[in-house]
Structure 1
Amino acid sequence: MSGADWCVLVFTLLGIICYGIYRSRGSRNIDGYLLGDKSLPWYHVCFSVMATQASAITFLSAPGLAYTSGMGFAQFYFGLPLAMIVLSITFVPMFHRLRVFTAYEFLEKRFDLKTRAITAILFLIQRGVSTGITIYAPAVILSSILHLDIQYTTVAIGVLVICYTMYGGTKAVSHTQLLQMSIIFIGLLLAGVTVVYLLPKDVGLIKAIHIAGKSGKAKAIDFSFDWNNQYTVWSGLIGGLFLQLSYFGTDQSQVGRYLTGSSIRDSRLGLLMNGLLKVPMQFFILLIGLLVFVYYQYHAPPLFFNGQALEELERGPYREELLSLHSEHEALFAEKEKVVSELSVALDRNDEEAINVARERLHEFGDKNGEIQEQLHQLMKVGNARADTNDNNYIFLHFVTQKMPKGLVGLLIAIVFLASMGATASGLNALASTSVVDIYKRLVSRKVNDRLDLSLSRWMTLGWGLFCIGVALFAQRLGNLLEAVNILGSLFYGTILGIFMVAFYLKKVGGSATFVAAIISELIVVICWKYEIMTFLWLNLLGCLSVMCLATILQALQAKKIQ
């Protein structure tokens, strides 16, 4: 990066951190540290919720996902607006009325301590691992920019966020997230405009989308009903609805965000506005990835977007084989570039026959490129058995650092860091609050001591931060980070949501039946995932319905025994 980029990056990050610390001063008890004294207006709630969900993974992996797989991932969010309506009607007033610190306190009042504890433990496992992955994402950037080992940058990022979260708590997180999302929106708009500007003069936005469509990348809607198709309208509306209901309704990292609202109205407005803004925002991020794909139809892409991995291979004994693959790759692109130009002309003339011929040839080039990539991956594995052959997370990063104008590079990198800080800080805050309120204060000591509780919350933040750093050090083996986080969530969210649905709507079902049903349902979900019986979005529906059905049956059997 240039000196101007470094200045923009450092100034933006330091400004945000100092502002958050300044606004969070005065948190002297657990209520202020974990809930921000429940004093934030609806727009704070909205941007805080969005920033928690839109981690660095979103801005690194989503464009890469659109580049490689197309726009289909947009369907993942189709259930989000519906989920926000359901939560605003049911969960929000309940949590506010009960004046809880965490979502899981309600479960003990409705059921018993063991049901509350198992739900909290499921959340801690899922959120702890997910937060570790969000730490890894900005470490990828810092590693690429500074050419340092990713393990060092992972630890550095983790320590920075731990210190920031330990000091400020929820107030620091929420206040900075408002600024973060404002900067993110501005940066994304500039990035989109810049990508279009960098395309050839005769290729505008509409034509770029047409070219991507003929290459099989622009299909955003799929009405087929296929259990093995990850992204369809139905998996998004149904599976996505249950995933979003669980994420926003039972995940303390999100519940903690809207519990900071000054009233039920503010919390509801914040969630509903999130439902309205999130889908267009995600679509726009994917669209940027699509435009980057079109850019690389006219400009030669690298053989492998993770430059460090390529440099490591080049320094090894397989340099000649790598050079041979480079030559094949360049020759293939030269041929493909001519076909892309022919496609562009055919689109201008609206010549369907020529368009179809060009499209078929582009698909052939895609297959040939896949063969070259497979040879490269095998070469990397021979050179280093632990080599990461998935460069999906590096596609947008490479484009930003190599092609964007000075100054804007620093701003876009700052955006990814800000998103990571917001999501990671929210995750650590949620892990600390759940550990203190749901585990320590119920299973270890119930004494009321504000100073001790505040101190313990900070130590729990440190402990979970170190755990998340440990997870982050292994995250490079997970492939596309965005998909990895959502798959991980889907293993737990359905079961957790099922417990809450029983609590809200099945009034005759007790704690023991729900507890056993939750354990059995979680085993069913894990087995279905392990043996690939269905794609991950449907696991949320499976887990929820399993808990509700099994709990009802077990309660009926229990009542029959008593009779």
Structure 2
Amino acid sequence: MESLDWIVLLGTLLTIVGYGSWKTRGSKNVHDFIQGGNEAKWWTIGLSVMATQASAITFLSTPGQAFNDGMGFVQFYFGVPIAMIIICMVFIPLYHRLKVYTAYEFLENRFDLKTRSLTAMLFLIQRGLAAGITIYAPAIILSAVLGWNLNILNIIIGVLVIIYTVSGGTKAVSMTQKHQMAVIFTGMFIAFFLIISYLPENITFTKALDIAGASGKMDILDFSFNLENRYTVWSGLIGGTFLALSYFGTDQSQVQRYLSGKSVKEMQMGLIFNGLLKVPMQFFILLVGVMVFVFYEFNESPINFNPAAEKTILNSDYAQDYKALENEQNIIFNNKQELINSYIETKDENYVKDIALANKADKENRDAAKVLIQKAASDKVISVETNDKDYVFIHFILNNLPRGLIGLLLAVILSAAMSSTASELNALASTTTMDLYKRSIVKNKDENHYLNATKWFTLAWGILAIIIASIAYLADNLIQLVNIIGSIFYGNVLGIFLLAFFFKFVKANAVFIAALITQAIIIVGWWYDWMPYLWLNLFGCFLVISFASLIQIMKKSNEKITSK
């Protein structure tokens, strides 16, 4: 990185943190700190909700996901607009009428304290883990690519977030997220148009789409009912709807964003805005990844995008074998270029099959390289990430963008990490204070006491997130890892809320027992890979509703028998 990149990067981040801290300093009470004084307008709510979900993982992993697997991942988000409508009609009016600070307060009103506490703890577990990952994701990749110390990066990201989140609470989070989203959208649009401009002169955007289509990257919709396919229209519409309902309707990191709205109408408009923009935004980010794929059809790429993996293999006994694979990669690359140019000139569909075969050879060669890297890492008894999806986009940024813009795109990644982490810490602290500390541990204190407690819990969760980030390990793909963690817990939590809303005959004890049984079954099901993780949301929701209803019916039957 050049001096100009450092100036842009540090200037952007410090301006956002400084402005957010200064503008929102001095919360007078818990209401101001947790709900921002209920002053947020609909566009602030919409951007804040979007920024909370669109973490650095989105902007690092999603382009890499598209580079490898194409546009099909967009189906994951098909349930979001449906979920937004349901939340606007059911959840928001109820939360507003009850004047709750957290989503879980409602559960005590409907059931009892232990059900509220259990659901809050399920949230704290999964969101606490996710907060660590949202810090770790950009840190591990930037450390590998730029040579920065991983733990120092974890600390820098965590400390920057803690500063303004402790200082200003929800208002600071929402205000900084507006600026962060502006930086993110600006950076991604610039990157997209630069990628198009870097393609050969005879390759227009339309031709680039043709090349991507011939390579199987533009297969957006999959209507199959095959459970082996992780992303289909049905998994998106059904599993995705249940995941989005759980996330936006019951996850405090999102609920807190729209509970800060001035009115029910502002909250609803903010969520509808998010629902309308979410799928196009994810489509665009995936399209950026597809264009990166097309770019590397005309420009040579490393056989593995993770520089740490490449360094490991080149300093091992397998270096010559790896170089042989690199030579094979060059042959495949040249062959693909000839096929693609012939296809563009003639539009002969026969070339599509040949391009697919060339891409298959490319993938097999890259997989062979991963096997060698794993062997080298095992020999040295070290851990190296062989799956390089998350490194594709950052590799393109650092090796192809002009000076200054590299700093801007790195600011995009770090801004996204900070925006998501801030929302998570804010929600974790609020839930800890209102659902556990104030309700069950230290009762009947004044407002100032609980305001300070919330700030201290924000600091504590921030430190814990940094610790989790420092001991985390990469999964197959970071964006999938976050969604897998959510899917393990969200279905159960959503089922509890649906029982509260619609199953009036079910009482507290039945729900509490059903939730414990369901969570155990879901964890076992995930561990033994019973189904694609998206379906765990529907499965968990169905289980807890079924178990709770059955337990309640059995209890009533026993009471009738006993009374006789």
Counterpart of 1:13 in structure 2: which amino acid? Answer: L
> What pairs with 1:365-514 in structure 2 (closer than 5 Å)?
365-514=362-511
> What pairs with 1:330-341 in structure 2 (closer than 5 Å)?
330-341=327-338
Partner Cα separation in structure 1 for residue 542 and residue 356 of structure 2: 44
Deviates more, 1:8-17 or 1:423-432: 8-17
Q: Which runs of 5+ in 2 are unaligned?
A: none
Partner-residue secondary structure (3-state), 2:161? helix
> Could you list the per-position Cα deviations for residues 138-176 of structure 1 after superposition, in whole angstroms to 9, with x for gaps in the alignment?
313542465133123212322222223111211110011
- State the partner residue of 2:258: 258
Partner Cα separation in structure 2 for residue 187 and residue 507 of structure 1: 49
Deviation at 1:298, TM superposition (A): 1.4
Partner Cα separation in structure 2 for residue 323 and residue 193 of structure 1: 38
Deviation at 1:465, TM superposition (A): 1.3
Deviation at 1:373, TM superposition (A): 3.0
Question: CA RMSD for the aligned pairs?
Answer: 1.6
Identity across the alignment (%): 46
2:520 to 523, 527, 539: 523
- State the partner residue of 1:346: 343
Distance 1:383 1:300, change over 3 A: farther
- State the partner residue of 2:13: 13
Distance 1:467 1:428, change over 3 A: same
Deviation at 1:317, TM superposition (A): 4.4
Partner Cα separation in structure 1 for residue 141 and residue 382 of structure 2: 23
> Could you list the per-position Cα deviations for residues 402-446 of structure 1 after superposition, in whole angstroms to 9, with x for gaps in the alignment?
111111111111111111111000000000000000001111122
Partner Cα separation in structure 1 for residue 211 and residue 103 of structure 2: 47
> Could you list the per-position Cα deviations for residues 462-490 of structure 1 after superposition, in whole angstroms to 9, with x for gaps in the alignment?
11112111211233332311000000000
Deviates more, 1:417-426 or 1:5-14: 5-14
Partner Cα separation in structure 1 for residue 144 and residue 398 of structure 2: 9
Partner Cα separation in structure 1 for residue 427 and residue 463 of structure 2: 15
- State the partner residue of 1:49: 49
Counterpart of 1:18 in structure 2: which amino acid? Answer: G
Partner Cα separation in structure 2 for residue 390 and residue 372 of structure 1: 10
Partner-residue secondary structure (3-state), 2:17? helix
Where does structure 1 differ by over 4 angstroms across 4 or more consecutive aligned residues?
A: none
Partner-residue secondary structure (3-state), 2:170? helix
Partner-residue secondary structure (3-state), 2:473? helix
Counterpart of 1:455 in structure 2: which amino acid? Answer: N
Q: Tell me if structure 2 keeps the 8 A contact 1:322–1:376.
A: no
Partner Cα separation in structure 2 for residue 484 and residue 88 of structure 1: 28
> Could you list the per-position Cα deviations for residues 514-534 of structure 1 after superposition, in whole angstroms to 9, with x for gaps in the alignment?
111111111221121111111
Q: Tell me if structure 2 keeps the 8 A contact 1:490–1:540.
A: yes
Partner Cα separation in structure 2 for residue 145 and residue 167 of structure 1: 33
Q: Tell me if structure 1 keeps the 8 A contact 2:83–2:245.
A: yes
Partner Cα separation in structure 1 for residue 556 and residue 341 of structure 2: 71
> What pairs with 1:539-554 in structure 2 (closer than 5 Å)?
539-554=536-551
Deviates more, 1:183-192 or 1:381-390: 381-390
- State the partner residue of 2:244: 244
Q: Tell me if structure 2 keeps the 8 A contact 1:521–1:546.
A: yes
Distance 1:10 1:102, change over 3 A: same
Q: Tell me if structure 2 keeps the 8 A contact 1:215–1:363.
A: no
> What pairs with 1:131-142 in structure 2 (closer than 5 Å)?
131-142=131-142
> What pairs with 1:41-440 in structure 2 (closer than 5 Å)?
41-144=41-144, 146-314=146-314, 316-318=315-317, 321-440=318-437
Partner-residue secondary structure (3-state), 2:403? coil
Counterpart of 1:443 in structure 2: which amino acid? Answer: S
Q: Tell me if structure 2 keeps the 8 A contact 1:336–1:362.
A: no
Deviation at 1:327, TM superposition (A): 4.1
Partner Cα separation in structure 1 for residue 474 and residue 78 of structure 2: 29
Partner Cα separation in structure 1 for residue 198 and residue 93 of structure 2: 49
Partner Cα separation in structure 1 for residue 265 and residue 334 of structure 2: 55
Partner-residue secondary structure (3-state), 2:187? helix
Counterpart of 1:340 in structure 2: which amino acid? Answer: Q
Distance 1:385 1:465, change over 3 A: same
Partner Cα separation in structure 1 for residue 233 and residue 474 of structure 2: 29
Deviates more, 1:141-150 or 1:346-355: 141-150
Counterpart of 2:25 in structure 1: which amino acid? Answer: R
Deviates more, 1:207-216 or 1:110-119: 207-216
- TM-score of the superposition, structure 2-length normalised? 0.96
Q: Tell me if structure 1 keeps the 8 A contact 2:21–2:172.
A: yes
Q: Tell me if structure 2 keeps the 8 A contact 1:393–1:481.
A: yes
Deviation at 1:119, TM superposition (A): 0.3
Partner Cα separation in structure 2 for residue 456 and residue 244 of structure 1: 31
Deviates more, 1:256-265 or 1:460-469: 460-469
Partner Cα separation in structure 1 for residue 218 and residue 372 of structure 2: 28
Counterpart of 1:247 in structure 2: which amino acid? Answer: Y
Deviation at 1:356, TM superposition (A): 2.4
> Could you list the per-position Cα deviations for residues 332-364 of structure 1 after superposition, in whole angstroms to 9, with x for gaps in the alignment?
223432333322322331212233233323323
Q: Tell me if structure 2 keeps the 8 A contact 1:16–1:180.
A: yes
Q: How many residues align?
A: 560
Partner Cα separation in structure 2 for residue 384 and residue 348 of structure 1: 50
Deviation at 1:70, TM superposition (A): 1.6
Distance 1:151 1:312, change over 3 A: farther
> Could you list the per-position Cα deviations for residues 248-285 of structure 1 after superposition, in whole angstroms to 9, with x for gaps in the alignment?
00000000000000000000000000000011001111
- State the partner residue of 1:32: 32
Distance 1:477 1:144, change over 3 A: closer
Partner Cα separation in structure 1 for residue 378 and residue 207 of structure 2: 39
Counterpart of 1:190 in structure 2: which amino acid? Answer: I
Deviates more, 1:477-486 or 1:139-148: 139-148
2:559 to 519, 543, 562: 562
Q: Tell me if structure 2 keeps the 8 A contact 1:103–1:255.
A: yes
Counterpart of 1:528 in structure 2: which amino acid? Answer: G
Partner-residue secondary structure (3-state), 1:228? coil
Partner Cα separation in structure 2 for residue 343 and residue 477 of structure 1: 34
Deviation at 1:39, TM superposition (A): 0.8
Deviates more, 1:430-439 or 1:5-14: 5-14
Deviates more, 1:322-331 or 1:399-408: 322-331
Partner Cα separation in structure 1 for residue 543 and residue 199 of structure 2: 50
Partner-residue secondary structure (3-state), 1:224? coil
Counterpart of 1:372 in structure 2: which amino acid? Answer: A
Q: Tell me if structure 1 keeps the 8 A contact 2:316–2:376.
A: no
Counterpart of 2:76 in structure 1: which amino acid? Answer: F
Deviation at 1:398, TM superposition (A): 1.0
Deviates more, 1:20-29 or 1:38-47: 20-29
> Could you list the per-position Cα deviations for residues 199-245 of structure 1 after superposition, in whole angstroms to 9, with x for gaps in the alignment?
11122222222222222222111000122211000000000000000
Deviation at 1:186, TM superposition (A): 1.6
